[in-house]
Amino acid sequence: MRVTNSMFASGALKNLNKNSSEMLKLQEQISSGKKISRPSDSPMIANESEILRSDVERLAHYAKNIDIAQNMAADAETALMDINRSIQNVKELILQASNGTQSLQEREDIITEIEQNKEQIISLLNTASSDKYIFGGYNTKVPPVESDTGTIMYNGTELSSIDDVTADAYKNELVSIRISKGTELNVSMTVLDIVGYGDGNLFQTIDEITGKMSTDTFDPADIETEMGTLENHFNNVLNKCSEMGGKEKRLDMVEDQINETIFGSENLLSEVEDVNIEEAIINYELAKQAYNATLAVSAQNIKMTLLDYLG
């Protein structure tokens, strides 16, 4: 092939351009730490890293949700433990009153103390976690339990008048949280789960006992059935307590899992999109050598002309 002077020149330019753009690419990779700077550099890598990144972001959100749920569960467990203690108090007070030596006046004093414990239980059932009532089912806005001149109301309905059908509807009002794609964990518990409803709910049971205790002819044998019911309530709250504890443990486990997955995904993400610095630097050195060689050879070739040798 016939070679002309300007072919040397344009060839040198073209090759220098090619070498320097390779160097620019490596420089970009090394300084940004990323293999690609725009999706079209490698649609495969871009797509994969986009999927991983959105996974990590979603998981981080779930971790946040779990934080909220953990707070809620911890608040609920504390409240349940306190309710349990109050029922224990009530039980002890009733035993004290059942002692045959107590006068009616003394029993009245004990009843007042029992009423105070009842108030305490009501206020514990109205526990709020971050401005949200946790035992009211879907009613998170107003205190779920109210005492209207002695009548106990749940979400505006008289507690002792609630039947099974209504109760099931209420109990289904579970506020759950999302802990992963499509998986929900329910951390809530309603007042009805804790103190019962209709006949024989905790408050009615206590009221019946105190009613019988405030008569002159009070005989401890009269309240044996009610005491049995109270004992059941006591055990039920204890169970709920450990149930809530179990949920807390489950939340902790899920949290650990999520954190591990986030860690794994982040590692994978880094593997997909981060540049291997050692490799990049070696490639850069190679590109630099090629560039230098091109410079040297081109400089020689462009200079050469027959004119140098003619007299």
Partner 1 sequence: MSNFYGLEIARKSLFASQRAIELTGHNIANANTEGYTRQRVDFKAAAPGNGSSIDNFSGNRTGGGVEIEGIVQIRNEYYDTLYREEDAYLSELNAKSESLRYIEDIFSESTESGIGSGIENLFSSMEQLFSDAGNSLLRSQLQQDAISLTNTMQLTAGRLNEYVDRQNSQVETIVSEINSIARQISSLNKTIFSYELNGEPANDLRDQRNLLIDELNSYIAVNVNEKETGELRVSVGGIALVDHMQINNMVLKEEPSPALDGKSVLNPQWEKSGNDVTLTGGELKGLLDIRDSDDEKNPGIPYFMKKLDTLAASMVEEFNEINSGGYTMPYGTTDSRTGVNFFDPTKTTAATISLSDELLEDASNIAASSGPVADYSNWGNNENLELFLELRDVDSIAYGDETIGNYEDYTREIMTEIAISTSYNANRAENQQVMVDYVDNQKKSVSEVSIDEEMTNLIRYQHSYAAAAKLMSAIDEMIGTLINSIGAAGR
For partner 1, the binding residues in 75-94 under the rule CB under 8 A are none
Rounded-to-integer distance, Cα 89 and Cα 110, Å: 11
Q: Is 33 in the site for partner 1 (CB under 8 A)?
A: no
- What's the rounded Cα separation, in Å, for the pair 143 and 209? 26
Position 58 contacts partner 1 (CB under 8 A): yes
* Binding status of residue 156 toward partner 1 by CB under 8 A: yes
- In the bound state with partner 1, the residue whose beta carbon lies nearer, of 180 and 236, is 180
Kindly state whether residue 40 participates in binding partner 1, applying the rule CB under 8 A.
yes
58 residue type, one letter: R
Give Cα separations from 223 to 114, 205, 228, 284 (angstroms): 15, 10, 9, 90
Instruction: Give yes or no for residue 12 binding partner 1 (CB under 8 A).
Output: no
Report the site for partner 1 in 246-275 (rule: CB under 8 A).
Answer: none
Region at 137 (left for phi over 0; alpha for psi -120 to 50; beta for the rest)? left
10 Å CB burial of residue 292 (0-12, 13-18, 19+) is exposed
151 binds partner 1 (CB under 8 A): no
Candidate residues 46, 81, 128, 302; the one interacting with partner 1 per rule CB under 8 A: 46
Phi, psi of 133 (to 5 degrees): -70, 130
> Which x/- pattern over 278-307 shows residues binding partner 1 (rule: CB under 8 A)?
---------------------------xxx
Shortest distance (Å) from residue 51 CB to partner 1: 7
Q: By CB under 8 A, is residue 165 in contact with partner 1?
A: no
Query: Minimum distance from CB of 255 to partner 1 (Å)?
Result: 15
Residue 155 binds partner 1 (CB under 8 A):
yes
Residue 188 vs 283, nearer CB to partner 1: 188
Judged by CB under 8 A, the residue of 41, 75, 109, 222 near partner 1 is: 41
Cα dist. 200→195, 196, 226, 231, 233 in Å? 9, 7, 8, 12, 9
Region of 155 please: left (phi>0), alpha (psi -120 to 50) or beta.
left
Q: Which residues contact 262 (CB under 8 A, 6 or more apart)?
A: 56, 59, 60, 63
Residues near partner 1 (CB under 8 A) are: 1-7, 11, 14, 38-43, 46-47, 50-51, 54, 57-58, 61-62, 64-65, 68-69, 130-132, 136-142, 144, 155-156, 173, 175-178, 181-182, 305-307, 310
